[in-house]
Structure 1
Amino acid sequence: MNRKSHTVLLIPGIFDRGTCLLRMQRALSNAGFNAQYIHLRYNSGWHGMEHLSAQLMAKIEKLLITGETCTLVGFSMGGIVARYYLQSMSGIRKVHKFISIASPHHGSYWANFLPYKGGKQLRIGSEFLCALNKSIHLLDQTNPVSIWTKYDVTIMPHSSAQLGLGISYEVPVILHRLMPISSKVISLTKKEVITGMADSI
C-alpha cells in the first residue's frame, strides 16, 4: 500500500509564475505540510497541456520517494494540467488527493481568444476536455474537490469550475485572481488536505 506523504504541490494558472499561491503555501507549511509550487514553462499554455503536465510529472518524481503519494492543488489552468497528469500519464498512482480551484473543467468562453494549442484545448467542447471528462471516473480514488465562485467572469460558464465528481464548494469570492489568496479558499484547501491524509487510498 502506498504511503501518504505530507507533500502538497501547488500548480498555478495561466500566465502565473506561482506567486499567487505564496499565501496558500505559507498556510499549508504552517500546518506542517511540505508545500511547494511549480513554475510551469511556458505558462501561457502555448505548447499545450501535455507539455506542462510533463513538467509536473518530472517535479513529482523529484519530490517523492518510491511508494509515496502527495496532494495536488491546481488553480485555474493548473487544475487541468493536474488532471492530464492524473488521468493520461498514470499520475493517479502518485496522488492521494486532488483539489481544483476555479479550473475550467468543461472549458471557458474566454479561451476562444487564445489562438494557440493550449487555448484551443481549454475551449468549451474541445476534443481535449471531452477526452478528459470521458475518463473522469479515474479521479474517484483521489477524493476530488472543486472550489468555485459564481462571480468568476474568467471561467464562463461558472458551472465549468465544478468537476462534477467528489465535493464541490461554492465561495463568495468576487474575482478569479482572488481565489487562491482568499482566506475562505485557503481554509477549505487546508481542511481538505488534512482530510486527505486520513482518507484511505
Structure 2
Amino acid sequence: MTPKSRTVLLIPGIFDYGWSMRRMEQMLNEAGFSAHYIHLKYNSGWHGLEHLSEQLQRSVETLADKGHTCALVGFSMGGIVARYYLQSMGGLERVYKFIAISSPHFGSFWANFLPYKGGRQLRIGSQFLEQLNNDMESLSCTAPVSIWTKYDITILPHSSALLPIGTSYEVPVKLHRWMPSDARVIDLVNRELRSALA
C-alpha cells in the first residue's frame, strides 16, 4: 500500500484567488498537516477545467512527497477541477482522500451566465459533468466527502453539492463564499483528514 503523507492541497473556486481558503490553510498547518493553497490560472475557467486540472496535477507532483499519496480539498469549482484530475488524469494513484466543499457536482443554474468553455462545463446536464458522474464510483477509493449548505444560492439547486457516494455533511452556513472559512467546516475537514491517516 502506498504510504500516506500529511500533504493537503487546497483548490479554490471560480474567480477565487485563494483568500477564502487561507484560514483553512493556516488551521490545518497548525494541526500538523502540510497544507498548500493552489493558485490556478486563469481560474475564471475560461480555457476549460481540463486546463486547471493540468495545473493541479503539476502541483501534486511538486508538493506531494514522491512515493506517497496526498489529500485534496476542493471548494466550489475547485472540487470539479479535482474530480477531473482524479477521474480522468490518473490522480487516483496519488490521492488517498478527496473532500469537496459546495462543489456543483451536477451543475449550477448560474453557470448558464458564463458564456465560455468552463462555464458551459459547469452547467446542469453538461457532457463534461455527465462523463464524470457516470464514473463516480471510481472515487470510492478516496472515501469522498461532500460538505454543503441548504442556504447556498450560488450552487443551484443546492443539492448539486451533495455527492451520492461517500460521506456528506450539511453545515448551515448562510453564504456560499463563507463555507471554506467557517470554523465548523474546517473542523470537519480536519477530522476527516485525521481519520483517513489513522
TM-score (norm 1): 0.97
Q: C-alpha offsets along residues 52-110 of structure 1, whole Å, 9 cap, x if unaligned?
A: 00000000001123321000000000000000000000000000000000000000000
Q: Unaligned 5+ residue runs, structure 1?
A: none
Runs of 4+ that moved beyond 4 A: none
Residue 82 of structure 2 corresponds to 82
Residue 21 of structure 1 corresponds to 21
- Measure, in 2, the Cα distance between the counterparts of 1:109 and 1:147: 19
- Measure, in 2, the Cα distance between the counterparts of 1:29 and 1:98: 18
Residue 121 of structure 2 corresponds to 121
Other structure's SS at 2:123 match: coil
Aligned residues: 198
Q: Percent identity?
A: 65
Q: Unaligned 5+ residue runs, structure 2?
A: none
Other structure's SS at 2:87 match: helix
- Measure, in 1, the Cα distance between the counterparts of 2:158 and 2:65: 38
Q: C-alpha offsets along residues 93-143 of structure 1, whole Å, 9 cap, x if unaligned?
A: 000000000000000000000000000000000000000000001100000
TM-score (norm 2): 0.99
Shift of 1:19: 1.2
Read off the aligned partner of 1:35 and give its amino acid letter.
Answer: A
Other structure's SS at 2:58 match: helix
Q: What RMSD, in angstroms, separates the aligned Cα atoms of the two structures?
A: 0.6
Read off the aligned partner of 1:176 and give its amino acid letter.
Answer: H
- Measure, in 2, the Cα distance between the counterparts of 1:68 and 1:140: 19
